[in-house]
Amino acid sequence: MNTLLELRGIRKHFSLGEKRVEILHGVDIDVLAGQFVAIMGPSGSGKTTCLEILGALSRPSEGSYSFEGRPVHHLDDDSLADLRARRMGFVFQTFNLMPRMSALRNAALPLLYAGVARREREERARDLLDRVGLSHRLEHRPTQLSGGERQRVAIARALANEPRLVLADEPTGNLDEATSREILELFCELHREGRTLVVVTHNDGVASRAQRVIRLRDGRIA
Amino acid sequence: MGRSLARRLRMLSPVVVDGVAELRAGWRSQMLTLIGLVWGSAAVVLLLSFGVGFTQFLDLGVEKTGDRWTVVQSEYTSAETGGRRPGRRVEFTIDDLDRIRAGVPSALRAAGEILEAASVETPHRTRATIVSAASPEIGEIRNHAIWRGRYYDASDERSGRRVAVIGAELEGMLFADADGLGRSLQIDGVPFQVVGVLAPKGFQLMTNMDLHDRMVFIPLGAGWGLFRDRREVDHIYVEPRRLDDADRMEREIRAALWPLHFLHPEEREAIRFESVPEIMRPVRKVFVALQVLLGVVGTVTLAMSGVSVANLMIAVVDGRRRELAMRRACGARRGDLLLQLMVETLVVVGLGGALGVAMALLITALLGQAPLPPAFPAPRVSASVLLTTFVVLAAVGLSAGIAPARIAARVDPSTALRVT
């Protein structure tokens, strides 16, 4: 398997007034294409910051990040946006669906920013919602959907651009046990299809299904 | 560049849909801002329309009584010449009129006039009014459109026929059945036959002593003997061939009349010229200033509501940081969010503006139907008023959208990951 992404010596710090807060202290991570990786660690260990950098949502303060063999840590905002639009999909603990949009329009959102025409956007979003079992909920708004259904819409949205990498932050954190199992099963299915998954979780059940678990403690790999 | 433009164009329709959805969802909190916008837009349209109404009123008022003429008035001399002392009264006669007609090439037509207050009588009614005794050319110079019958002509003038044309309002005052055509009336006891009735003029500007609707018009020859000695005229109306010939025409009239009255070459007081364009120039300046003032007042009102829109949209961005961050996570560029917030602001401003313009159109339509006093012009919504309002609204919308759009474009995409 090829290496999909490679973090080397990643440091991330913020300034709080005159104080500098170090979140990550030189993290090295390699993720192979098609791997299912779980990132675990206690609160404040830097899991979410690590996911931000992996998802090109923020740049590291120091260190290098290569995606598909290309360095991306120095890219400008719009280039990072294009990278996210074409290569990455995100699933969040709080679903982060657009409240005024139907399930169909939510699932099609990344396609809009990727410049896909309307008809194709709708066709692809419809297929994806069908795939996650929501073909009967296309025109429903998030408030008209259950927690599990919302997360399915979010997964459909994450898959809209056929991304190489799907990143999830506590994807079952707001769901009951039965729904969590269904969502986890969906993730395993994606993995079996060959997608690369990086999931931040506290949930041992989720971690147990991953091929590899990276544990963070105080901004370092434990 | 081409792909980027195509991408943005594809984005436009969903962004407008989102803007409308946001507006519908938040209409309660946006109500006050919308009211401000409605009022501001209505104020711009109404104030500009009043300005246009006033200007059209002015133009029409002038047009009704002729808008090209120069009146030549006789006064007192100020300089001594040929042993004649200053302070001498210049009297115009038919000779002056003939001189102008024959010796002023830039004059298209000229008419001498005598104006006099007189008692006008029919078998049942008597009215005190103003009588104009003038050369028939006055009809064209002062724009006396005929409603019924005819205007008196050169043959009436030559033959000394006692014929009269009367104003429409005076006809109603003098004749019980409001039909005076062909009937007779007496001016200071002298009988005249009514040969024509003027089309009603309504409110007029540039009338010398009274409204034409209430006046009697008779040939100059008929006025001699009745009001003045034979050959005398009070003043002379002259119309230039071209409007920009007015100065040249004045010079030519001076050259023609000065020798006739033994005037000093530098004499400026004895004969006075007043032309409509000259008289109207300062008036028009006042009206333009009034229009600008009304436009500025309206624009400031709208701009104030623009500030309110900007505040509202900044609050909207603040409340939607997570959503905007999510859009960034999904691949939205900074420019995409800039576009989105600009469009959302323009949707708010567009709706408020459309309602305001509709309200203003309704008010102007109602005012158009209302019985306003004759000297109070109704507002007129012209294409230029609507275009100006559109430009002002667009400027307000774009200005109000800049700050919130820039804040939206700077939203950190990693905010999407933070659980609040």
Domain ranges of chain B: 2-62+281-417, 76-106+241-269, 111-238
Average pLDDT in the B284-292 region?
87
More reliable by pLDDT, A168 or B19: A168
Average pLDDT in the B264-291 region?
86
CATH code at position A82: 3.40.50.300
pLDDT value of position A1 = 64
CA distance A170 to chain B (A): 10
Query: Residue A138: which pLDDT band, with cuts at 50, 70 and 90?
Result: very high
Range of lowest pLDDT (A50-64, B285-299, B381-395): B285-299
State the Cα–Cα distance between residues A18 and A166, nearest whole angstrom.
36
Query: Residue B310: which pLDDT band, with cuts at 50, 70 and 90?
Result: very high
pLDDT value of position B215 = 93
DSSP B200: P
In this predicted structure, the answer to whether residue B247 has a pLDDT above a threshold of 60 is yes
**pLDDT 10s digits, A114-127:** 989 889 999 999 99
Positive or negative, the CA dihedral A97, A101, A104, A110 is negative
Assigned domain for A111 exists:
yes
Does B14 lie at the interface with A, CB-CB under 8 angstroms? yes
pLDDT value of position B210 = 52
Question: Which residue of chain B has the CA closest to A120?
Answer: B10
Does B417 lie at the interface with A, CB-CB under 8 angstroms? yes
Assigned domain for A61 exists:
no
In this predicted structure, the answer to whether residue B81 has a pLDDT above a threshold of 80 is no
**pLDDT 10s digits, B211-242:** 889 999 999 999 988 888 888 899 999 999 99
Contact B97, B112 (CB under 8 A): yes
Distances in whole angstroms, Cα of residue B97 to Cα of each of B72, B92, B225, B250: 10, 8, 18, 14
State the Cα–Cα distance between residues B229 and A143, nearest whole angstrom.
98
In this predicted structure, the answer to whether residue B117 has a pLDDT above a threshold of 80 is yes
State the Cα–Cα distance between residues B409 and B336, nearest whole angstrom.
8
Q: What one-letter code names the amino acid at B19?
A: G
Cβ neighbours for B277, distance < 8 A, ≥ 6 positions apart: B67, B68, B243, B246
Q: Do A85 and B6 touch (CB under 8 A)?
A: no
Q: Do A169 and B417 touch (CB under 8 A)?
A: yes
Residues 293-322 of B with CB under 8 A from A: 322
pLDDT value of position B106 = 94
Rg (CA), chain B: 33
For tokens 């046990």, the residue is A177
pLDDT value of position B61 = 80
Average pLDDT in the B43-49 region?
91
Instruction: For residue A58, give the nearest of B22, B326, B414 by CB distance.
Output: B414
pLDDT value of position B29 = 79
Q: Do A57 and B323 touch (CB under 8 A)?
A: no
Number of domains in chain A: 1
In this predicted structure, the answer to whether residue B281 has a pLDDT above a threshold of 50 is yes
pLDDT value of position B265 = 77
For chain B, the first-to-last Cα distance in angstroms comes to 39
Average pLDDT of chain B is 88
In this predicted structure, the answer to whether residue B1 has a pLDDT above a threshold of 70 is no
For residue A222, the cross-strand partners are: none
pLDDT value of position B419 = 58
Work out the percent of chain B whose per-residue pLDDT is above 70. Answer: 96
Phi then psi dihedrals of residue B126, to 5 deg: -135, 135
Asked if ipTM goes beyond 0.85, one says: yes
In this predicted structure, the answer to whether residue B208 has a pLDDT above a threshold of 70 is no
Contacts of B18 in chain A (CB under 8 A): 98, 100-101
In this predicted structure, the answer to whether residue B150 has a pLDDT above a threshold of 60 is yes
pLDDT value of position B202 = 78
Contact B271, B291 (CB under 8 A): no
For residue B258, the cross-strand partners are: none
**pLDDT 10s digits, A181-206:** 888 898 899 999 989 999 999 888 88
Q: Do A113 and B6 touch (CB under 8 A)?
A: no
pLDDT value of position B209 = 45
Give the pair of three-digit tokens for residue A59.
């740049």
Identify from A57, A75, A139, A200 which residue to disrupt to test chain B contact, counting B C-beta atoms within 10 A and taking the largest count. Answer: A57
Assigned domain for A82 exists:
yes
Cβ neighbours for B339, distance < 8 A, ≥ 6 positions apart: B8, B11, B12, B15, B405
State the Cα–Cα distance between residues B139 and B370, nearest whole angstrom.
33
CA distance B406 to chain A (A): 15
Assigned domain for A12 exists:
no
Burial class (CB in 10 A: 0-12, 13-18, 19+), A80: buried
Does A94 lie at the interface with B, CB-CB under 8 angstroms? yes
pLDDT value of position B206 = 61
- What is the CA angle A193-A197-A198, rounded to 5? 170
Instruction: For residue B333, give the nearest of A51, A81, A161 by CB distance.
Output: A81
For residue B114, the cross-strand partners are: B133
Does A127 lie at the interface with B, CB-CB under 8 angstroms? no
Residues 20-59 of B with CB under 8 A from A: 21-22, 25
Q: Say whether pTM exceeds 0.90.
A: no
Count CB pairs under 8 A between chains A and B: 90
According to DSSP, the β-strands at B163-166 and B190-198 are parallel
Give residue A205's domain range.
35-52+76-221
pLDDT value of position B288 = 87
pLDDT value of position B264 = 79
Q: Do B323 and A99 touch (CB under 8 A)?
A: yes
**pLDDT 10s digits, A10-44:** 999 988 888 888 999 999 999 999 999 999 999 88
State the Cα–Cα distance between residues B33 and B307, nearest whole angstrom.
9
State the Cα–Cα distance between residues A200 and B7, nearest whole angstrom.
33
Cβ neighbours for B293, distance < 8 A, ≥ 6 positions apart: none
State the Cα–Cα distance between residues A128 and A107, nearest whole angstrom.
8
DSSP B113: E
pLDDT value of position A16 = 83
Query: Residue B207: which pLDDT band, with cuts at 50, 70 and 90?
Result: low
Instruction: For residue A100, give the nearest of B3, B18, B330 by CB distance.
Output: B18
pLDDT value of position A63 = 94
Query: Residue B280: which pLDDT band, with cuts at 50, 70 and 90?
Result: confident
For tokens 């306003």, the residue is B372
For tokens 């259950």, the residue is A146
More reliable by pLDDT, B78 or A60: A60
Assigned domain for A1 exists:
no
Residues 113-172 of B with CB under 8 A from A: none
State the Cα–Cα distance between residues B321 and B227, nearest whole angstrom.
88
Contact A169, A55 (CB under 8 A): no
Average pLDDT in the A83-98 region?
90
Range of lowest pLDDT (A51-60, B139-148, B364-373): B364-373
State the Cα–Cα distance between residues B126 and B124, nearest whole angstrom.
7
Give the pair of three-digit tokens for residue B257.
């009349």
pLDDT value of position A40 = 94
In this predicted structure, the answer to whether residue B99 has a pLDDT above a threshold of 50 is yes
Contacts of A96 in chain B (CB under 8 A): 322-323, 326, 329, 416
Does B201 lie at the interface with A, CB-CB under 8 angstroms? no
Instruction: For residue B3, give the nearest of A77, A98, A115 by CB distance.
Output: A115
Q: Do A82 and B333 touch (CB under 8 A)?
A: yes
Q: What one-letter code names the amino acid at B85?
A: R
According to DSSP, the β-strands at B146-149 and B235-240 are unpaired
Does A157 lie at the interface with B, CB-CB under 8 angstroms? yes
**pLDDT 10s digits, B24-44:** 887 887 888 889 999 999 999
Give the pair of three-digit tokens for residue B306.
């623009």
Assigned domain for A28 exists:
no
